[in-house]
Amino acid sequence: MDRTIEELFAVIEDRRETLPDDSYTASLLTHEKGENAVLEKLGEETTELVLAAKDDDEGEIAAESADIVYHLLVLLAMKGMDLEALEAELEARR
Ligand SMILES: N=c1c2ncn([C@@H]3O[C@H](COP(=O)(O)OP(=O)(O)OP(=O)(O)O)[C@@H](O)[C@H]3O)c2ncn1[C@@H]1O[C@H](COP(=O)(O)O)[C@@H](O)[C@H]1O
C-alpha cells in the first residue's frame, strides 16, 4: 500500500514537471481555474465518498477513497510538498 502511494506520487510529480498533453494530472495543474480545479475536485470526491458510505456501497467507497487519495497527492505536489510531510504528521500522532 505504501509503495503504491509512493509510486503514484512519483508519477504525479513527473506529470507536474513534464506536463504531457494527454495527462489528466497535467490538465488539473494547468487548469484555467488555477488551484481551485484541484480543490473543487477534492470537495466533490469527498461528497461522493460520504454518499457511498451512506449507501453502504463498498465498491463505491473504495473507488471514491482512491479518487480522494489521488487528488490529495495532486494537492501536495501542487503545493511543492512531498510525502514526508504527511508521513511525519502521521508518525507524530502514533
Ligand atoms: N489515480 C488516478 C486518478 N484517479 C482519478 N483520476 C481522474 O480523476 C477524475 C475523477 O473525476 P470524476 O470521478 O468526477 O469523473 P469525471 O466527472 O468524469 O471527471 P471530470 O469530468 O471532472 O474530469 C477522472 O477524470 C479520472 O480520470 C485519476 N487520474 C489519474 N490517476 C493516476 O495518475 C496517473 C497519471 O495519470 P495522467 O496524469 O492522466 O497521466 C495514472 O496512471 C493513474 O495512476
Say if 36 falls within a structural domain.
yes
Mutate to test the pocket of ligand 1, among 7, 67, 69, 76 (most ligand atoms within 8 A of CB): 67
Quote the pLDDT of residue 28: 96
Say if 93 falls within a structural domain.
no
Say if 82 falls within a structural domain.
yes
Quote the pLDDT of residue 2: 76
Say if 92 falls within a structural domain.
no
**Binding site membership of 48 for ligand 1 (Cβ less than 6 Å):** no
Contacts of 4 (CB under 8 A, 6+ apart): none
Say if 16 falls within a structural domain.
yes
Quote the pLDDT of residue 88: 95
Distance from the Cα of residue 27 to its chain's centroid: 14
Return the CATH number at 77.
1.10.287.1080
Gap from CA of 93 to ligand 1 centroid (Å): 31
Quote the pLDDT of residue 64: 98
- pLDDT per residue rounded down to tens, the chain (94 residues): 679 999 999 999 999 999 999 999 999 999 888 899 999 999 999 999 999 999 999 999 999 999 999 999 999 999 999 999 999 999 999 9
Cα 44 from Cα 23, distance rounded (Å): 20
